[in-house]
A and B are shown apart, each in its own frame.
Chain A
Amino acid sequence: MFLWGLLFVAVPVIIHFFERRRTIRLEFSSIRFLRDTAVKASRRKRLKRLLLLLTRICTIAAIVLLFAQPYDRLDPFGVLRDPQGRTFVWVDPTISMDYRADGAALWEHARRGVWALDSILPKSHKLYVFDNCLGEFVERGETGESACPGVRHGETTLRAALRTFDSRRRSGAHLPTLVLFSDFERHDAGIIDTFLSVDSLFHPVVCVSLAPERGCNYSLTAASGPGAHGPFVDCLVRARGQKLRQCDVSVLSGTLRTGHGQVECGRDDSVEVRLETGGPEQSKTGAVRLGIDDPFMHDNTDYFVAESRRLLRVLIVSNDNSAFPLAAALASLHAPSSYAPVIRRPAEVVFEDIDSAEIIVLNGVAQPTGVLRALFAKRSLEKKLIVFSPDMVDEQGAFNRDVLRHLGATAAVEKRRAETALYPVLPDTVSVLWRAFPRFEDRSVAVYEYLAALPGKPLLHLSNRSALVTQCIDSAEHCWIVLSTPIGISRSNNLAETGFYVPLIDRMLRFGLSLVRPKEHVWVAGFRERNPFYGATMPAQVYDAQGRQYAQWGGQFVVGFETPGVYKIQPPEDASYWVSVHADTREGQLAYRRPEPRGERKRYVKVLDERAFDEFVQTLGRRSRLNILWILVGLLLLAELALWEWRKPG
């Protein structure tokens, strides 16, 4: 607005033109006394008048510029001097910022940077700092220092910060400045590059890289605890940036040291270490610790459990209560995986149920729901193991037909009734699936009704050579195990009443899981995983290593642990088990990359290291351009005085 003041420049110009004397042409008897000196003096005087006009114009312009400060507008980062401006600051909260350099953690360096920035901003300039706990920008000074810790385990909040910034930046008159303090691990830099490349608003961004110049870090990862392979703890020691000279590695069980060893490792190398410790009975849980101080301590200790338990969530979709024996059978299976079965009626199933389950059993579903149709969609879900048990009441039902068509059945579904009861017969006893199975055939099983012409590869036959169980992979890479007769309580067979039932289910699921290979459940502090007890009637209780209740896992879709350690999980109506929670190993990799803005964006993005940022802040604080303008105004006023002509009265 102050720039309108530049119109005042017209005032001396107008005055000059009003005062401009007309040129009189005259003839004179002799210019003898006017030649040379008078001409020169006249020229000098005219030049002086022009200079005076120029000086006045410059003086007014400089005074206007002094107030308007338009150079701040030309310089994208000049908005930091704008009293009406806004600055949004994000400080990387990942634990990599706990790296200690120059006697302080990186996040402390960042905090100092924020203070320094705050100190030079005009008082009315608003500074918002992203609160990593609240997940939004909070005005600094309004609520005092945030209670949120400087660093925490888990994912970066950069995406959330950029999203929030994006929603808030359009509200003000000026584009706000975004200041990012981070060590810029590779993935962070990638996020920023993406943000800058897709961003259409050219607002100034300052990326302050706090990454150590020649960082070093030693890390330890516990590969396995004592168990079947013996009373050993296996771990991997890695040295980055500097050689690891001989140092102790200890196994701790509670406060007791149950094993120790020595380790030495070359620069940017890794060493596997096996430490003898007590057996699983003595060291059910524990920690392995590297006895050395290094700048980044979070990955010097790792946790293990002697017997890890793999808990797989099973969603049983059934119209009636006929699936209870199946749930009971699943609950009784523990090795190598435990199953957490949940029974839902088709109408009750929600997407989260399907998404969170590793195994889905469709038992006698007559009419498909919209959510169940997600199973036929490509790439909407991770790979699942789906057990299909047909509805024999309405064998021509829509869902039977849809599933079998989806799996490639060309012929119409045909229900057959056996005149004499049929029993299952293994196709072989050498395949992985049926090796060491208790019985080759079981005549106690009686199958009265079954579907003929199932698609897929037969895994189990009936005594009349028709398929009882087949397996196929669909276009979405889900593994389908299709039974020709229901697997729950049914009039079509007596499977649930025989000793064949549980081994059959166990083998089928194991075989299916070997094909699907669901992800290993590794708990990493700060990261959320699917709740294995989602939808259970009773919540599971979670306790920390000291036996204090840590959480209740019931209706939450995702759950997790905030800090590394060992935790005990008590499922409802089942035996408790321990899990180890690790620190994110990526945080100690010292893999940094600064953001690389491209094209026009470069002008608006400053990528600075800490020292350069300090200088940048000092430069802002000095307001050098303002000083130059003051000096200019002073000089112009002096010039004005020097050029001033006192007119003689009259």
Chain B
Amino acid sequence: MNAQKPSASFLRPEQLTPIRNLNLRAKIIVEGLIAGLHRSPYHGFSAEFLEHRPYFQGESIRNIDWRKYARSDRTVVRLFEDETNLYARILFDKSASMSFSSQGAVSKFDYARTLAASLAWIFIRQRDAVGLVTFDKSVDTSMPPRSTNVQLKNIISCLEASTPSHTTRCGAAIDEAARSIHKRGLCVLISDLFDDAASIIQGLRHLRFKRQDTIVIWLLDPMEREFGRDALLEVRDVESGEKVFLDGETAGEYYRRGMERHRAEIENACKELTIDCETVITDEPFHRALLRILEKRRRLF
């Protein structure tokens, strides 16, 4: 699947956010996305065929490959990679820092919510089980993966009900979430990753240890990418409420350097752990962001 050029019909986040119904928003995004693809993601997602094996007496006849029997007159059974659907978990960061939005942009929290809902929609439509873990300084809500439509409703309701609060302890929260995972599956982490890099990496490591194929969606506001102005700044941390007085230019310089270092540390760790790390800026259309993610995860979808 080739990456598609952004369609003119792609809706920008600021056009979608007025739609209060997250379910509807996700539906618009996902169906718009599907309409733009050449191949349907419905094929192959649930049929994870592995191999054939001989049928043993007493087994359920449900899995006998009758076509094979008709062609070769042998009773063989179809084996799938998993007996069930894909177990996907969306780790959703709802810390206070996610509420930040620069002037005219969608807040990271809203963007993340929409993105999470869209992903959940896609998973459910593919008959995969999807769960939701929301966290800030620790895990707040944990919904085990299910593949029912009710689950989708529940996830969307949970996302709608959640509000950004508390400080980020992203690493510890991932670690805590990883502890409750027992089956292999897929984890999609949606966060701004404003935490200690070492702690985050430790959490990711734990996820990988739990055999979780992990996708990190690193959400950033446009201002977080290019911080700094030619002015004196009185900056208030939305998480801690701490205030600092800064020279805009100097602060921008230091912020860029710090951010680069942080990014490099996390991206290197992701590379090492074979984790896909996608940076998404909140002024990017949802479709394009999702396409980029799907492009990387072609194997899954």
Taking beta carbons and an 8 Å cutoff, which residues of A are in contact with B?
A: 21-35, 37-39, 41-42, 45-46
Contact = CB atoms under 8 A, between A and B. Distances in A.
Contacts of A26: 233-236
11 contacts: A22-B232, A23-B234, A24-B229, A25-B234, A25-B236, A30-B194, A38-B251, A39-B246, A42-B251, A45-B249, A46-B232
Interface string B168-206: 100000000000000000000000101000000000000
B247 interface: yes
B231 A21 contact: yes
Interface of B: 97-98, 100, 108, 168, 192, 194, 221, 223-224, 227, 229-240, 242, 244-251, 254-255, 257-259, 262
A622 to B, nearest CB: 46
A254 B59 CA distance: 173
A29 B232 contact: no
B100 A27 contact: yes
Q: Is the interface of B mostly helix, strand, loop or mixed?
A: mixed
A29 B111 CA distance: 15
Top 6 nearest A-B pairs (CB, nearest first) are A33-B258, A29-B100, A38-B254, A29-B97, A42-B247, A30-B194
B254 A30 contact: no
Contact of A30 (B97, B229, B249, B257): B97
Given A26-B235, A29-B100, A30-B192, 15 more contacts: A21-B231, A21-B248, A23-B245, A24-B229, A24-B232, A24-B233, A24-B234, A27-B100, A27-B237, A28-B227, A28-B237, A33-B259, A35-B244, A38-B246, A39-B244
A33 to B, nearest CB: 3
B251 A34 contact: yes
Contact of A38 (B97, B239, B255): B255
Contacts of A23: 231-234, 245
Nearest to B103: A26
A22 B230 CA distance: 9
Nearest to A648: B249
A33 B254 contact: yes
A42 B246 contact: yes
A47 to B, nearest CB: 11
Contact of B230 (A21, A25, A33, A34): A21
A465 to B, nearest CB: 124
A22 B234 CA distance: 10
A27 B97 contact: no
A38 B230 CA distance: 15
Contacts of A25: 233-234, 236
A38 B246 CA distance: 7
Contact of B245 (A29, A32, A33, A39): A39
A23 B243 CA distance: 13
Contacts of A35: 244
Contacts of B100: 27-29
Contacts of A46: 232, 247
Contacts of A41: 247, 250-251, 254
Nearest to B167: A30
Contacts of B233: 23-26
B214 to A, nearest CB: 23
Contacts of B244: 31, 34-35, 38-39
A22 B229 CA distance: 11
Nearest to A49: B247
A28 B238 contact: yes
A33 B245 CA distance: 14
Contact of A29 (B108, B231, B246): B108
A46 B249 CA distance: 11
B245 A42 contact: yes
A41 B255 CA distance: 12
Nearest to A21: B231
A343 B99 CA distance: 129
B109 to A, nearest CB: 10
Contacts of A37: 254
B236 A33 contact: no
Contacts of A45: 247, 249-250
A25 B108 CA distance: 20
Contact of A34 (B98, B221, B235): B235
A39 B237 CA distance: 14
Contacts of B97: 29-30
Given A23-B231, A23-B233, A29 B247 contact: no
A39 B233 CA distance: 11
Contact of B194 (A21, A29, A38, A42): A29
A389 B74 CA distance: 191
A30 B108 CA distance: 13
Contacts of B240: 31
A194 B288 CA distance: 103
A29 B250 contact: no
B172 to A, nearest CB: 16
Contacts of B250: 38, 41-42, 45
Nearest to B239: A30
Contacts of B262: 33
Contacts of B255: 33-34, 38
A263 to B, nearest CB: 95
B101 to A, nearest CB: 9
B260 to A, nearest CB: 10
B20 to A, nearest CB: 24
A16 to B, nearest CB: 13
A114 B234 CA distance: 68
B242 to A, nearest CB: 6
Nearest to B258: A33
Contacts of A34: 235, 244, 246, 251, 254-255, 258
B254 A31 contact: no
A29 B238 contact: yes
B226 to A, nearest CB: 13
Contact of B232 (A21, A27, A30, A32): A21
B39 to A, nearest CB: 38
A32 B170 CA distance: 14
A34 B257 CA distance: 10
B88 to A, nearest CB: 27
Q: By CB atoms of chain A within 10 A, which of B100, B235, B240 has the most?
A: B235
Nearest to B252: A38
A614 to B, nearest CB: 57
A328 B165 CA distance: 139
A38 B239 CA distance: 19
A32 B258 contact: yes
B194 to A, nearest CB: 4
Nearest to B224: A29
A45 B254 CA distance: 13
Nearest to B195: A32
A30 B221 CA distance: 12
B84 to A, nearest CB: 38
Contacts of A38: 244, 246, 250-251, 254-255
B261 to A, nearest CB: 8
Contacts of B232: 21-24, 46
Contacts of B98: 29
B239 to A, nearest CB: 6
B74 to A, nearest CB: 62
A28 B248 CA distance: 13
B254 A28 contact: no
Contacts of A30: 97, 168, 192, 194, 237-239
A256 to B, nearest CB: 105
A38 B251 CA distance: 5
A5 B268 CA distance: 62
A41 to B, nearest CB: 5
Contacts of A39: 244-246
B235 A28 contact: yes
B58 to A, nearest CB: 60
